[in-house]
């Protein structure tokens, strides 16, 4: 079955799942109260959010984690809004008549709302153009709990909100309505979600500690990036595809044992060793720049869907144009390593946009691609010398490298404004969206 078909089926199952639970909950009623149905929708989708937060690989491999997380964020806000409508609608019709159950429903809404508000303010840039939101964000970021890493911990309290919600729903079905079948079905759904979450947060890290990797070399690169190679203490490297990333934890008392995502820059054909790139971009990644060989780490993955672009190139004469913005070069290095091994005949053009030449790292690797990939073209682009990379400059690069817009696949990776600008420039030239592939560092 084709990936697009499976993606459509998963998406449809997500959106239509409330109908299944509603059919069970309202099976003995001649009509379905709209307010109650909205409650079922909110419960179903909010619990589904717990499942998505567990990073299920059987779903992620069809969507990629950045897109799955974006969908999760949007649907969480929509589900919470539906839940609030349900609350006020029910209260307007019946009043506060279910005491114990209502209290837990209210606790769920308040907890979800508080976490959602802080998450949007601190961990996203959804309202970045609003002056008022910028001011609020500036004030909040001065508070210790509002640091990004602390907000990641606070975000996990959504499981508490989901538990309050489950208590509300189950007391309504078991106690108030006396519906054992509906209560069992709704309870089993919540139990599955919690099991996946507990496995992800607690059991999986414990298993990973038994399957450690040892850092074999560290190589500083220009642009405050560290090239870190590691090998498994037992067996071979797990199978992965070029362009994917992993979550890594450093098992050393000098560093917090917290997970962070890092791009794989090694070739998947090498089953003895993997390499990741770590950009100094915050408290944790600044500290981790002093890693040394011999340090033990855990590695979870792989994740990410950038590798799928290779499927679009098979049996075609299309060019592959890679646009990297700053540290966005890292997953593209893995893809280029794979291309080097496979000796693809397609024209490959890498446009790497940087502030200045002091950020131009990975010189040895890039030189090896020039020497070994049959038709590799490197275009470093420095903003301090040439200005912003706009549509006119892209057209000049394409003319110089003999790239035809309609006969190329495009892969974008870097800051979101960078990718949006490139995507807009390509769309203006008539490039269809299915030829433009991207992955955001938004985890």
For the chain, the domain total comes to: 3
Do 359 and 419 lie in one domain? The reply is yes
264 and 343: one domain? no
Least confident piece of the model among 121-125, 151-155, 227-231, 330-334: 121-125
Report the CATH number at residue 383: 3.40.50.80
Residue that terminates a domain, selected from 207, 222, 250: 207
Q: Residue 196 has what pLDDT?
A: 95
φ/ψ of 240, rounded to 5, equals -150, 170
**One domain, residues 197 and 262:** no
| Shared-domain flag, residues 347 and 418 | yes
Each residue of 234-248: pLDDT tens digit?
A: 999 999 989 899 999
- Domain closes at, from 247, 280, 304: 304
Average of pLDDT values for 190-195?
96
The share of the chain scoring above pLDDT 70, in percent, equals 90
Residues 293 and 338 in one domain: no
Half-sphere exposure of 304 (CA within 13 A, CB side): 31
* Cα dihedral 159, 163, 164, 167 in deg (nearest 10): 170
Domain at 268, CATH number? 2.40.30.10
For CA atoms 326, 262, 277, 410, the dihedral sign is negative
Give Cβ neighbours of residue 210 (< 8 Å, ≥ 6 apart). none
Tens-digit pLDDT profile for residues 307-336 = 666 666 767 788 999 999 999 999 999 999
pLDDT digit string (tens) for 304-313? 876 666 666 7
Residue 297 lies in a domain: yes
**Same domain flag for 140 and 202:** yes
- Enclosing domain of residue 110: 3-207
Same domain, 178 and 32: yes
- CA–CA gap between residue 313 and residue 350 (Å, rounded): 16
Q: How confident is the model at residue 411 (pLDDT cuts 50, 70, 90)?
A: very high
- The CA distance from 170 to 29, in Å, is 18
Is residue 348 located within the same domain as residue 406?
Answer: yes
* 443, part of any domain: no
Distances (CA, A) of 187 to 24, 171, 200: 13, 10, 20
Does residue 266 share a domain with residue 331?
no
119/264 same-domain check: no
CATH of residue 13: 1.20.120
Q: 286 is written with which tokens?
A: 């600044």
- Residues 162, 218: one domain? no
Is the pTM value of this prediction over 0.85? no
Residues 26 and 96 occupy one common structural domain: yes
């Amino acid at each position: 079955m084709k990936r697009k078909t499976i993606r459509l089926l998963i998406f449809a199952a997500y959106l239509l799942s409330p109908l299944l639970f509603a059919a069970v909950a309202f099976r003995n009623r001649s009509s379905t109260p709209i307010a109650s149905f909205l409650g079922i929708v909110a419960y179903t989708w909010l619990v589904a959010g717990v499942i998505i937060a567990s990073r299920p690989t059987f779903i992620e491999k069809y969507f990629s984690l950045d897109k799955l997380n974006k969908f999760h964020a949007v649907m969480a806000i929509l589900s919470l809004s539906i839940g609030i409508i349900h609350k006020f609608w029910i209260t307007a019709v019946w009043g506060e008549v279910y005491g114990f159950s209502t209290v837990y429903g209210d606790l769920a809404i308040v907890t979800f709302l508080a976490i959602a508000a802080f998450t949007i303010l601190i961990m996203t840039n959804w309202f970045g153009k609003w002056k008022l939101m910028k001011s609020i964000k500036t004030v909040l970021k001065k508070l210790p709990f509002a640091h990004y890493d602390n907000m990641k911990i606070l975000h996990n309290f959504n499981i508490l909100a989901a538990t309050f919600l489950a208590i509300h729903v189950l007391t309504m079905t078991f106690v108030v309505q006396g519906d054992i079948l509906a209560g069992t079905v709704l309870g089993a759904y919540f139990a599955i979600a919690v099991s996946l979450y507990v496995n992800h947060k607690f059991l999986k890290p414990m298993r990973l500690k038994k399957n450690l990797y040892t850092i074999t070399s560290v190589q500083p690169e220009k642009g405050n990036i560290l090239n870190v190679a590691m090998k498994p203490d037992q067996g071979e490297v797990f199978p992965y595809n070029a362009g994917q990333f992993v979550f890594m934890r450093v098992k050393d008392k000098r560093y917090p044992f917290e997970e962070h995502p890092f791009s794989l820059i090694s070739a998947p054909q090498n089953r003895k060793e993997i390499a990741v790139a770590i950009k100094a971009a915050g408290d944790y990644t600044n500290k981790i720049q002093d890693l040394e060989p011999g340090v033990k780490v855990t590695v979870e993955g792989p994740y990410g869907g950038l590798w799928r672009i290779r499927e679009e190139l098979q049996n075609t004469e299309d060019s592959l144009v890679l646009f990297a913005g700053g540290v966005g070069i890292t997953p593209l290095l893995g893809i280029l390593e794979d291309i080097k091994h496979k000796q693809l005949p397609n024209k490959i053009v890498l446009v790497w946009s940087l502030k200045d030449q002091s950020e131009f790292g990975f010189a040895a690797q890039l030189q090896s691609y020039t020497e070994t990939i049959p038709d590799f073209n490197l275009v470093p682009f420095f903003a301090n010398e040439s200005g912003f990379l706009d549509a006119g400059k892209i057209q000049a690069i394409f003319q110089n490298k003999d790239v035809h817009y309609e006969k190329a696949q495009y892969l974008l990776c870097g800051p979101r404004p960078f990718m949006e600008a490139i995507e807009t420039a390509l769309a203006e030239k008539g490039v269809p969206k299915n030829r433009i592939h991207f992955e955001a560092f938004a985890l």
